[in-house]
């Protein structure tokens, strides 16, 4: 049987009243599937290859569609809830039949019209695709596939007392500390980040700007740009409070000190008790 929840490249085998029957190149009868007439391409020939997504229809039968879903098997996505009833919640995932979220798989009760970060998986009992908003349950940090300074893909999962839990490369759980956040973040945001540190317990610290010495030049450029906008003066120095630096430049005090150190060595700025001055060359 063709895998549910995945995209397949199949061969058009025959045209029938209900639609086109497709097959793979195995020759097995169980690997045939119907592409209903409403998805049939205008121009085709028997033997043509076509790319389709396989899922269960309203009668729980495997069917193919040429529509592109917003999420596939074993993937994360940020989807809108379009219905809640006595069975659970239903999400718009780009297909005619909505994606089901059982009550037990809702991190908190879903509401129609709201958006949720979910993970799509195959329920072993019903053999149908379902979703869960308990996304952190689907991550594994027992063996890490990332290293410090590596660039990674992130989903923002939820806010905590320490910062924001993030999904790293769709595999691991990471954390962006509040001190390293210089932009508005919300659940469902998809962005890039860097691994700042991996700990002995396999926890991952993430930052949203390139860490270590690699971030010095971009931050130095940012300070020069801001100085130019402010007529060559900023009321900041190495004794300034971290919150003041964050408010004016959206960077940590540590990054700020490294950057002004670089600029001072290059004789591009002058540091005085009241702040830093741009040296016009």
62-75 pLDDT per residue, tens? 999 999 999 999 99
In terms of C-beta distances under 8 Å and separation of at least 24 residues, what long-range contacts does 212-218 make, across chains too? 212/149, 213/258, 214/149, 215/255, 215/258, 216/255, 216/258, 216/259, 216/262, 217/262
Residue 214 binned pLDDT confidence (cut-offs 50, 70, 90): low
Residue 234 binned pLDDT confidence (cut-offs 50, 70, 90): very high
Q: Give the Cα separation of 75 and 64 in Å (integer).
A: 19
Q: What is the mean pLDDT of residues 249-264?
A: 90
Do the Cβ atoms of 232 and 200 come closer than 8 Å? no
Q: Give the Cα separation of 185 and 171 in Å (integer).
A: 20
Residue 10 binned pLDDT confidence (cut-offs 50, 70, 90): very high
Per-residue model confidence (pLDDT) at position 212:
60
Q: Give the Cα separation of 180 and 247 in Å (integer).
A: 13
Per-residue model confidence (pLDDT) at position 1:
73
Do the Cβ atoms of 162 and 176 come closer than 8 Å? no
pTM reported for the whole predicted model: 0.78
58-107 pLDDT per residue, tens? 888 899 999 999 999 999 999 999 999 999 999 999 999 999 999 999 99
DSSP string computed for 36-81: EGGG--SS--TT-EEEEEEEE-TTS-EEEESS--S--TT-EEEEEE
DSSP string computed for 112-171: TT-EEEEEEEE-TTT-SEEEES-GGGG---SS----TT-EEEEEEEEE-SSEEEEEETTT
**Phi, psi (rounded to 5 degrees) for 138:** -100, 15
Per-residue model confidence (pLDDT) at position 73:
97
């Amino acid at each position: 049987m063709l895998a549910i929840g995945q995209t397949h490249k199949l061969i058009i085998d025959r045209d029938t009243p209900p639609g086109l029957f497709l097959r793979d190149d195995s020759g097995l009868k169980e690997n045939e599937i119907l592409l209903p007439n409403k998805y049939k391409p205008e121009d085709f020939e028997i033997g043509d290859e076509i790319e389709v997504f396989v899922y269960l229809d309203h009668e729980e039968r495997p069917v193919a569609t040429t529509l592109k879903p917003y999420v596939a098997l074993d993937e994360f996505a940020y989807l809108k809830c379009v219905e809640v009833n006595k069975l659970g919640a239903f999400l718009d995932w780009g297909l005619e039949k909505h994606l089901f979220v059982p009550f037990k798989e809702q991190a908190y009760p879903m509401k129609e019209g709201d958006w949720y970060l979910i993970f799509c998986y195959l329920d072993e009992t019903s053999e149908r695709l379902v979703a869960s908003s308990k996304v952190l349950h689907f991550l594994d940090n027992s063996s890490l596939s990332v290293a410090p300074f590596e660039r990674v893909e992130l989903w923002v999962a939820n806010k905590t007392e320490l910062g924001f839990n993030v999904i790293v490369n769709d595999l691991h759980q990471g954390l962006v500390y509040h001190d390293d956040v210089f932009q508005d973040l919300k659940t469902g945001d998809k962005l890039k980040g860097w691994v700042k540190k991996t700990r002995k317990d396999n926890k991952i610290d993430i930052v949203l700007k390139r860490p270590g010495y690699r971030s010095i030049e971009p931050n130095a450029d940012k300070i020069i740009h801001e100085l130019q906008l402010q007529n060559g003066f900023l009321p900041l120095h190495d004794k300034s409070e971290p919150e003041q630096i964050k408010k004016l430049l959206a960077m940590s005090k540590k990054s700020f000190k490294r950057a002004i150190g670089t600029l001072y060595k290059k004789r591009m700025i002058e540091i005085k008790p009241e702040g830093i001055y741009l040296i016009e060359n």
